Amino acid sequence: MKSNVNFCAFTDAFHAYNRYDQFGYDALRVLFDYLESLEDDLGQELELDVIALCCDYSHDTVQDIAENYSIDLDECEDDDEKREAVRSYLEDNTSICGETATGFVYCTSF
């Protein structure tokens, strides 16, 4: 039996597993909206598994992503160019769920 989960219940589940800080409010909103869209695209309901989501998705800053994936940002002149370089890398190598003011929410299981 599956139950419908709204955004409030979604964030509560992350709090219950002490995983809220792994994403934060804005990133959880991006992830929730992405998963709802994915359900619509697939035509089936997804099961809320906080631990699996924490393993498969991440929210990181532009700088952290660049460091973690050895993206050279030396030739980027400003923060917008750095963000675009990281976005391009993620688009080529994974799925981007969306952006926050501080970075990207993306699939890490690629």
Q: Is residue 1 part of a domain?
A: no
Domains: count for the chain: 1
105, with CB counted inside 10 A (0-12, 13-18, 19+), is buried
- The one-letter code for the residue type at 84 is E
- Residue 86 CA to residue 59 CA, distance in Å, equals 13
Quote the pLDDT of residue 1. Answer: 46
Helix ranges restricted to H, 23-74: 25-42, 50-56, 62-68
Q: Is residue 25 part of a domain?
A: yes
Q: Is residue 39 part of a domain?
A: yes
Q: Is residue 2 part of a domain?
A: no
Q: Which residues contact 71 (CB under 8 A, 6 or more apart)?
A: 65, 85, 86, 89
- Residue 66 CA to residue 72 CA, distance in Å, equals 7
Q: Is residue 75 part of a domain?
A: yes
Quote the pLDDT of residue 2. Answer: 64
Q: Which residues contact 90 (CB under 8 A, 6 or more apart)?
A: 65, 96, 104, 106
pLDDT by residue, tens only, the chain of 110 residues: 467 899 999 999 999 999 999 999 999 999 999 999 999 999 999 999 999 999 999 999 999 999 999 999 999 999 999 999 999 999 999 999 999 999 999 999 76
Distance of CA 76 to the CA centre of its chain: 24
Quote the pLDDT of residue 48. Answer: 95
Owning domain of residue 87: 7-107
